């Protein structure tokens, strides 16, 4: 009977792969792999020389939506043929990742067993490398283009993390990079909530143990000048302290005296 397990490789080669995920990779009938780094893919191919890369589905000018549909279908074909299939994705398979979620939903809808294993994402590495605890003042996460396409309510007393900043503003879903002009529109949007001189961090987690993370500090007004990649994440630290809710605090104080 066919089944699907989507697992995460974590961000750093050899550092984050959990035993359950490794078990799925070693034991599945068929393994598909989607890594951001060619060396990480080679590492998976050492464990499973027959692992099939999902990279060839990407193509210049082809819509990512189409690419994702084809990746899901490639995995589902094997599940339907009665095989145990493992999809191994870099990072966490369920964080800013369409294919594993869609593949699992489709497999379940067709009556097959499907599961996802949690793993170390770029977000987890970001907290460690930048010394940010999301519980201290809170942390909002948005996909950078979605952040531009919709009116979101930014809380400048919390951290703001923008994913896929390298392709911010891409409405076509076909680009592997967007332009300075796109980023200027993002600057304009962020200026509604932050001062021009506000410090931001371009973050790129290290994917090899010998490498260091990129943690480049820039100001908001310089965001259009900096080099960004597909694997860059933008971190906007808080610009103000949290504003106490005096009315709620008064009601809580009242409640406490009633209970005392």
Query: Of 94, 88, 92, which Cα lies nearest the Cα of 53?
Result: 88
Q: What is the side-by-side strand order in the sheet with 113-116?
A: 52-53, 30-34, 84-89, 3-8, 113-116
Q: Which of 17, 85, 86, 205 binds ligand SAM (CB under 6 A)?
A: 205
Taking CB under 6 A as the criterion, which residues in 230-259 touch ligand SAM?
230-231, 233
Choose the stretch contacting ligand SAM; rule: CB under 6 A; options: 73-81, 95-103, 151-159, 191-199.
95-103
Give yes or no for residue 95 binding ligand SAM (CB under 6 A): yes
Is 90 catalytic? The answer is yes
The residue from 6, 204, 223, 236 that contacts ligand SAM (CB under 6 A) is 204
Q: For tokens 């990512």, what's the residue? A: 64
Our CB check for ligand SAM shows the closer of 67 and 121 to be 121
User: 143: how many CB neighbours lie within 10 A of its CB?
Assistant: 15
The residue from 52, 58, 69, 96 that contacts ligand SAM (CB under 6 A) is 96
Rounded-to-integer distance, Cα 187 and Cα 169, Å: 12
Taking CB positions, which residue lies at the least distance from ligand SAM?
Answer: 91
**By CB under 6 A, residue 91 contacts ligand SAM:** yes
For the chain, what's the residue count? 260
Kindly tell me which residue out of 67, 84, 121, 178 binds ligand SAM, with binding defined by CB under 6 A. Answer: 121
Nearest one of 13, 4, 11 to 90, comparing CA atoms: 11
Binding residue (CB under 6 A) for ligand SAM from 32, 57, 68, 163: 163
Q: Which helix (H) or strand (E) holds 8?
A: strand 3-8
Between CA 30 and CA 35, with CA 33 as vertex, the angle to 5 degrees is 170
Site for ligand SAM contains 145 (CB under 6 A): no
Binding piece for ligand SAM, criterion CB under 6 A, among 50-58, 147-155, 170-178, 199-207: 199-207
Does 150 participate in catalysis according to the annotation?
no
Measuring CA to CA, which residue among 189, 193, 143, 203 is closest to residue 167? 143
Rounded Cα distance, 207 and 198, in Å: 28
Residue closer to ligand SAM, measured from CB, 2 or 33: 33
68 included as an active-site residue: yes
Q: In this complex, which beta carbon is closest to ligand SAM, that of residue 163 or of residue 194?
A: 163
Report the half-sphere exposure of 43 (CA within 13 A, side-chain side). Answer: 22
Q: How many CB atoms lie within 10 A of CB 197?
A: 9
Q: Which residues are annotated as catalytic?
A: 64, 68, 90
Q: Name the site residues for ligand SAM (rule: CB under 6 A).
A: 11, 36, 91-92, 95-97, 121-122, 163-164, 203-205, 207, 230-231, 233
């Amino acid at each position: 009977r066919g089944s699907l397990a989507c697992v995460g490789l974590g961000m750093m080669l050899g550092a984050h792969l959990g035993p359950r995920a490794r078990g799925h990779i070693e034991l599945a009938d068929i393994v598909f792999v989607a890594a951001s780094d060619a060396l990480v893919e080679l590492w998976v191919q050492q464990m499973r020389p027959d692992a099939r890369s999902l990279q060839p589905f990407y193509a210049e000018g082809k819509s990512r939506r189409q690419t994702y549909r084809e990746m899901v279908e490639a995995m589902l074909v094997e599940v339907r043929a009665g095989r145990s299939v493992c999809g191994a994705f870099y990072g966490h398979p369920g964080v800013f990742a369409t294919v594993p979620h869609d593949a699992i939903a489709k497999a379940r809808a067709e009556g097959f067993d499907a599961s996802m294993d949690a793993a170390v994402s770029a977000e987890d590495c970001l907290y460690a490398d930048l010394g940010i605890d999301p519980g201290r003042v809170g942390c909002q996460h948005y996909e950078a283009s979605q952040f531009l396409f919709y009116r979101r309510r930014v809380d400048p007393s919390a951290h703001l993390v923008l994913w896929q900043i390298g392709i911010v503003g891409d409405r076509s879903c076909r680009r592997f990079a967007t332009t300075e002009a796109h980023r200027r529109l993002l600057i304009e949007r962020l200026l509604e909530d932050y001062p021009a001189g506000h410090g931001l961090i371009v973050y790129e987690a290290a994917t090899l143990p010998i490498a260091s993370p990129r943690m480049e500090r820039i100001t908001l007004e310089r965001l259009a000048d900096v080099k960004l990649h597909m694997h860059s994440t933008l971190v906007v630290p808080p610009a103000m302290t949290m504003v106490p809710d005096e009315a709620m605090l008064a009601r809580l104080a009242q409640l406490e005296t009633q209970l005392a």
